[in-house]
Amino acid sequence: MAKAVEPDNSRYTSRVQATTRQTAQMLLLKPALVKLLRMHVHGLANLDNLDGAFVVFGNHSSHLDAPLILCSLPNRLSRFVATGAAGDFFFDSWVKSMSMSVFMNAFAIDRGKGGKGRRGMSAQLLSDGVPILLFPEGTRSRTGAMGPYKPGVASLCISRGVPALPVALVGAYDAWPSKQNHLPKGRPEVHVVFGRPMVPYPGEIAHEFNERMRRQVLELHDTTARAYGKKTLVEFERTVALERASKKSQIAALVDDAKEQADKQEDR
């Protein structure tokens, strides 16, 4: 019986490739972000004691999110960070695959929509000592509000015994919402806010840790948003709720109108 061939993950731990990637980030990616945005980074002191493998996570509302986080982390931490990216979107052509590998040290995540992706890759990288960047929402917000967190990231931290590093991105949705087909214009202001690394409590299960992680990002985001006059996640969520209520009212009105017209037809 032939032995299964173990996947080669050496590019994620290669010092040569890490140096090449950081050079590309410093010379190309970060200058591009600075040209497009007014970037402000907060909470770097919270990272002083962070080392080894960890999971960076945050709210996800824009294609800017991963580049913003990678270019805001200190070099000693960002050097080997591998970014989880949708296999059905970012790995559907060699051009995107190459760009994601060069700038993001990306690995494909299978979202069940086809495309590349390998089960257990996140866990394997953490076991190999590679920090990873994941978005627990699983996809970009289409409204600016933060979606529910899937507990997979929390479960990874518990099973692999690694800390979770929360980061809030304030203003990224306004800079480049999902419906916008062009790059940001006018250098909008974006804030990257790092919190303190989080570890699961003894006996804490994934769903409980997951909820703590989500609340921490919400607090980091909205505290910074209020301080700088930006829209909070709570306000985005309230806007979505009002829009849904309005649509329901409109549908109810149309139904009532249709019933009224039907009743009039019967009376005739």
Give the other-Cβ count within 10 Å of 63's Cβ. Answer: 15
Residue type, 92: D
Residues 232-248: tens digit of each pLDDT: 999 999 998 888 777 76
Q: How far is CA 197 from CA 71, 119, 142, 208, 216, in A?
A: 18, 26, 28, 16, 10
Are the C-beta atoms of 193 and 220 separated by less than 8 Å? yes
Angle CA 233–238–240, to nearest 5: 95
- CATH numeric code, 10-231: 3.40.1130.10
Are the C-beta atoms of 65 and 174 separated by less than 8 Å? no
- The percentage of the chain sitting over the pLDDT mark of 70, rounded to a whole number, equals 81
Residue predicted with more confidence, 136 or 117: 136
Name the residue with tokens 């009224």.
260
pTM of the complete model: 0.85
Give, as one character, the DSSP assignment of residue 46: G
Phi, psi of 55 (to 5 degrees): -120, 120
Q: Which residues have a Cβ under 8 Å from the Cβ of 238 and sit 6 or more positions away?
A: none
Asked if pLDDT for residue 10 goes beyond 90, the answer is: no
HSE (side-chain half, CA atoms, 13 Å) at 7: 12
Q: Which of 254, 144, 249, 158 is nearest to 210 (CA)?
A: 158
Structure tokens at 89: 């979107």
Q: How far is CA 230 from CA 174, 188, 217, 225, in A?
A: 10, 11, 15, 4
Residues 88-122: tens digit of each pLDDT: 666 666 666 777 777 888 887 776 655 565 678 89
